[in-house]
Amino acid sequence: MIKNLKNLKPKMPEYIEKNIKQALIKGKYTDSFFISKYRFNIYRGCQNSCAYCDGRAEGYYTPKDFGNQIEVKINIIDVLKKEIPKIKEKGIIFVGGGVGDSYQKPEEKYQLARQVLQFLKDYNFPIHILTKSALVERDFDILQQINDKNKSTISFSFCSNNQKIVDIFEPNCASVKERFYLLEKFKKNNFYTGIMYMPVIPFICDKKEDFNSFLKDAKNSGVDFVIFSGMTLKTGIQKDYFLNVIKNNYPNLLDDYDKIYPSDNKYGAANSKYYTKIYTDYYEVLKEYKIPSVIPHYIYKDKIEMKDEVAMILFHIYQLLKSRGEDKKVYEFAAWNILKLEEDIITLTKENKLQTIKGIGTVISGIIKEIVEKRRCNYYEKLL
């Protein structure tokens, strides 16, 4: 049963100013998706109001009226000024998170993202910004300064390149045309650029012809990577909100969603049969365009710790093989064991002790040795 949620009706946004004690989120391990260990949210709640956003899910403790009540961390600069200097390891700082676009509407008023960038440009960290807003262009001047010092990445996320679909599911975001224009602009000015092609919405933009059209536009924009993912629907506010949007726009599809999204999956995953089909179709189309489906090594080479760099390549070998139908978990297992290492990976390589690491045999030790000594991986590059 779908609840009728009142927050589907337009409301005046409410900006809730908050003082925080902690801003920087440091992951225990570098994330193989965004290649980042450090991140922060400037806002909680998001006026982009994307219909599918899992930031609405109760587990994230965001405002209940997610698209209209936005928590603004007004003292984030002061907090980051205490936290950033304490970072001892190399790493890429991810500006943003899963519970609020750093360039959403309140940024026009508060300019906190701009202030954060002004502060970060004096430090030796490359950054990665992911947004759906054209407002990021406002800060091109500061971003260029950061990029000149530490080459950085600007990414945009999309659910589709069909503007009619985007208008329904991403009502307060930059247009498809604006996003591709900005990807091209940043690329021409020597930034790395990427696309998070996610989530692909079931039954609406998940066909081969949709993938083909989207990847053609992505290829023409010159992006360095396109990362693909299906959609999750967690039981509760997120699922109710999304299904209300479906009810109002595609009522004939309600039963189809009920069939593929079981209510007892705590992660909100669709059934495996559906995911298998869309991933198989997507990667079949991707072969024609030859766009990396993971963040390429050259983007993070020498920008993260060596053991993290090795682990990321091994994770991505696993993912690239899996996208071809080869489920070789040995690479994933080895990557996790390297991330947990207390010993220095360079020393272990020099002393020929790599095979003392659990899960690492002759083949993977050879790959690690090549990464450490030659700063590349031929096998990985062929898969890419």
Over the stretch 281-326, which tens digit does the pLDDT of each residue have?
999 999 999 999 999 999 999 999 999 999 999 999 999 999 999 9
Structure tokens at 149: 């010092």
SS (H, E, C) 178-227: HHHHHHHHHHHCCCEEEEEECCCCCCCCCCHHHHHHHHHHHHHHCCCEEE
Which pLDDT band holds residue 57 (cuts at 50, 70, 90)? confident
Tell me the average pLDDT across 161-186: 98
Structure tokens at 64: 């209940």
d(CA 243, CA 158): 19
- 221-234 b/e (C-beta count within 10 Å ≥ 16 → b): bebbbbbbbbbbbb
Domains of the chain by start residue, with CATH: 6-298 (3.20.20.70), 305-383 (1.10.150)
Contact indicator for 254, 246 with CB cutoff of 8 Å = yes
Phi, psi of 226 (to 5 degrees): -135, 115
Which pLDDT band holds residue 7 (cuts at 50, 70, 90)? very low
What single-letter DSSP state applies at residue 17? Answer: E
Q: What is the pTM of this model?
A: 0.94
d(CA 276, CA 337): 28
Q: Residue 110 in 3-state DSSP? A: helix
pLDDT of residue 169 exceeding 70, the answer is yes
Strand partners, 210: none
Distances 142 to 94, 139, 274, 371 between C-alpha atoms, Å: 16, 6, 43, 33
Distances 338 to 16, 193, 342 between C-alpha atoms, Å: 42, 28, 9
What are the tens digits of pLDDT across the range 317-375?
999 999 999 989 999 999 999 999 999 999 999 999 999 999 999 999 999 999 999 99
